[in-house]
Amino acid sequence: KENLCPDDTFLWVCFFCNNQYRIKDAGSQVSPQELKSTFEHSLEQVGQMVIMLNDFFDPLYIDRAWCIFETYICVTKGLPMTMIVPPAAQADFKRKLDNGVGLAGVQQKFEAIDSKHSRSTKPENSQLIHDLIEQTYGFEAVNQQVKVQLLHCLTLE
């Protein structure tokens, strides 16, 4: 879609480079500030982010603590983001748009982003992200910025 040269295109996958299990289970306590610095540095090095949604109407991404946090870091750093979805989800979205029900449903779902109640596989990781957000940016700021950015990405699709 972007006409990128495969020889010059590289993917950085967050769970390989910033393994959330390793960060939390390394035997040492990771402070919210250390976590913030780690993600900021890694995302700045990459320079952009691809957001992979499973679906437009019930995306798992917007309920995940790590995903919301990473999106917010990209927003604060001014890093470009691209949203991708599987072809079947794109077709379903376009079909619902043609029927006049698509955009309002998607917008309503994205507007309900709630970083304070986001989750991760391990509850202690959710708590770590929640503490970080609460101690640095605040839940409302994160929610607002992430929802605006995701809705912006959606309009580019």
pLDDT range class, residue 22, cuts 50, 70, 90: low
State both tokens at 71.
């999106």
What percent of the chain clears pLDDT 90, i.e. is strictly above it?
30
Question: Over 60: is that where the pLDDT of 23 sits?
Answer: no
Instruction: Please list the alpha-helical segments (H only) found in 11-138.
Output: 14-17, 20-25, 32-46, 65-77, 87-98, 102-111, 123-136
φ/ψ of residue 55, rounded to 5:
-165, 150
Q: What is the mean pLDDT of residues 68-97?
A: 90
pTM: 0.83
**Residue 148 pLDDT > 90:** yes
Question: Measured between alpha carbons, how far is 109 from 8 in angstroms, rounded to an integer?
Answer: 36
Q: What is the mean pLDDT of residues 62-81?
A: 92
pLDDT value at residue 46: 83
Helices vs. strands in the chain: H and E counts, helices first? 8, 2
pLDDT at residue 16, rounded to an integer? 64
> How high is the pLDDT of residue 77?
92
